[in-house]
């Protein structure tokens, strides 16, 4: 009967010692290692950045600047187009201002009421209107006003007739005006004194006239003519022709 032997492995004294395992971990806590990267570098993942208030404010400011630039550009283009159109019309039609003159002034009634010191007057005025334009006509519309004043006192009022004035035309206009002035005693005394001292009486004639300009076959929208005339007459004797010594009229229009 054979005996059983237990054989225990015996280390070889000439074999090299087994490799020792490191006690320090290769990767530190809180860091990750790439399979193909450097083990000594850490990879940090940053959270996505949100739009800051300053960035939003800067974006709104940039949008506002673009809107202002576009608006200015459109206005500039409109000014250029309008200017070009006006220049072309001027070269084609060569517009000239109309000319007005007071030719004759007659006081047909001047009655001073002794009871209430009121003054009733009536004037006839002859006006010469000249249109020097070769290609422009003028429509004188309803709604005109003409007044005769001494200093700041309105003596009479009236209106011009409605008519059309053609190219290079001269039109004689007859206008009848009437007026009523209260407390006119001092006014009559001032008129008499003015005539005795200077030999003439300064009057003012104001005209406001709605018109429409005709360029060729094109009839423009209505505008207003304003005529202001300074007239010096020799007297204001009733039922007599008053001699106009000097007349100077200024003209302007308003859209």
Query: In this structure, is residue 49 part of a structural domain?
Result: no
In the block, residue with structure tokens 């009848």: 176
Query: In this structure, is residue 87 part of a structural domain?
Result: no
Query: In this structure, is residue 12 part of a structural domain?
Result: no
Query: In this structure, is residue 231 part of a structural domain?
Result: yes
Query: In this structure, is residue 187 part of a structural domain?
Result: yes
Partners of 225 in the beta sheet? 209, 253
Query: In this structure, is residue 221 part of a structural domain?
Result: yes
Q: What's 106's domain CATH number?
A: 2.60.40
Q: What is the pLDDT along the chain (255 residues), one digit of tens a residue?
A: 444 555 555 555 555 555 555 555 555 555 545 445 554 545 555 555 545 556 555 666 678 888 888 888 899 999 999 888 878 877 878 889 899 998 888 888 888 888 888 899 999 999 999 999 999 999 999 999 999 999 889 999 999 999 999 999 999 999 999 999 988 888 888 888 888 888 889 999 999 999 999 988 889 999 999 999 999 988 887 777 788 888 888 888 887
Query: In this structure, is residue 107 part of a structural domain?
Result: yes
With 0.85 as the threshold, say if the pTM is over it. Answer: no
Q: How far is CA 246 from CA 26, 229, 236, in A?
A: 117, 10, 15
Residue 104, SS3?
A: strand
Structural domain including 153 reads 97-252
Query: For the chain, what is the domain count?
Result: 1
Sign of CA dihedral 52, 54, 56, 59: negative
Residue 41, SS3?
A: coil
Query: In this structure, is residue 8 part of a structural domain?
Result: no
């Amino acid at each position: 009967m054979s005996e059983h032997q237990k054989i225990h492995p015996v280390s070889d004294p000439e074999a090299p010692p087994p490799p020792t395992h490191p006690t320090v971990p290769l990767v530190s806590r809180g860091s990750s290692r790439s399979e193909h990267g450097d083990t000594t570098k850490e990879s940090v993942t940053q959270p996505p950045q949100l739009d800051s208030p300053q960035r939003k404010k800067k974006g709104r400011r940039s949008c506002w600047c673009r809107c202002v630039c576009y608006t200015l550009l459109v206005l500039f283009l409109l000014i250029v187009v309008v200017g070009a159109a006006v220049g072309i019309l001027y070269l084609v039609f060569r517009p000239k201002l109309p000319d007005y003159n007071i030719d004759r002034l007659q006081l047909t009634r001047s009655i001073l009421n002794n009871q209430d010191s009121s003054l009733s007057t009536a004037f006839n005025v002859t006006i010469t209107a000249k249109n020097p334009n070769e290609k422009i006509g003028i429509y004188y519309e309803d709604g005109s006003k003409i007044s005769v004043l001494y200093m700041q006192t309105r003596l009479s009022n009236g209106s011009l007739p409605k008519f059309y004035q053609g190219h290079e035309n001269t039109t004689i206009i007859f206008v009848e005006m009437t007026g009523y002035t209260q407390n006119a005693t001092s006014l009559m005394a001032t008129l008499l004194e003015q005539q005795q001292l200077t030999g003439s009486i300064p009057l003012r004639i104001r005209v406001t006239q709605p018109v429409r300009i005709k360029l060729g076959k094109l009839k423009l929208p209505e505008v207003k003519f304003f005529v202001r005339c300074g007239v010096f007459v020799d007297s204001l004797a009733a039922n007599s022709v008053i001699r106009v010594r000097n007349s100077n009229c200024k003209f302007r229009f308003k859209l």
